[in-house]
Amino acid sequence: MGCRILESPVDGACFYCSTTDWAFGPVFQNLEQAERFLQVVPGDPRTFSDKELEAKYAEFVVNHTCECGGVSGPDDAEFKADAEFPDGCTCGNNGGGDCPWCSYKQIVLDWTAEPGERFVCYYCAKKKAKKEKCNG
């Protein structure tokens, strides 16, 4: 029993308490976003007040959700690491080491927005770079 995620392919996803059968918190765009929130926000979301949960969600959106709806996480970090280091992981253990690719992936995973910044997913960053290259 605990905090679970209720998903609708049309309406998004939300948390519910399997002990009380009560839905609570923000409505996420999709299951991936709700799962990532649980990964990066420490603690059980049921223990936060509505105001605290709202503040944590607002911070999460800035740091982990792209305007297109893409979500930060291992997949996005690997795409970004591949773009910087096309040879991939060279530490021999298929990730998790200290080679440049793994180090860069960890930097991407640990990124936190500065005031005025927002997370940008790999696809949007690539699209923006392509557009700037064409216009420059």
DSSP string computed for 49-73:
-HHHHHHHHHHHHHHHB-TTS-B-S
Count of structural domains within the chain: 1
Residue 17: burial class (beta carbons within 10 Å; 0-12, 13-18, 19+) = middle
* 52 falls within a domain: yes
Task: Give the model's pLDDT for residue 1.
Answer: 65
* 58 falls within a domain: yes
* 98 falls within a domain: no
* 77 falls within a domain: no
Task: Give the model's pLDDT for residue 58.
Answer: 95
Task: Give the model's pLDDT for residue 95.
Answer: 64
* 99 falls within a domain: no
* 104 falls within a domain: no
* 103 falls within a domain: no
| Whole-model pTM over 0.85 | no
* 85 falls within a domain: no
Amino acid making up residue 13: A
Strand partners for 24:
15
As averages over each run of 10 residues, the pLDDT of the chain (136 residues) reads: 90 94 94 94 93 96 93 94 92 77 92 92 89 71
Domain span at residue 18 reads 1-71+113-120
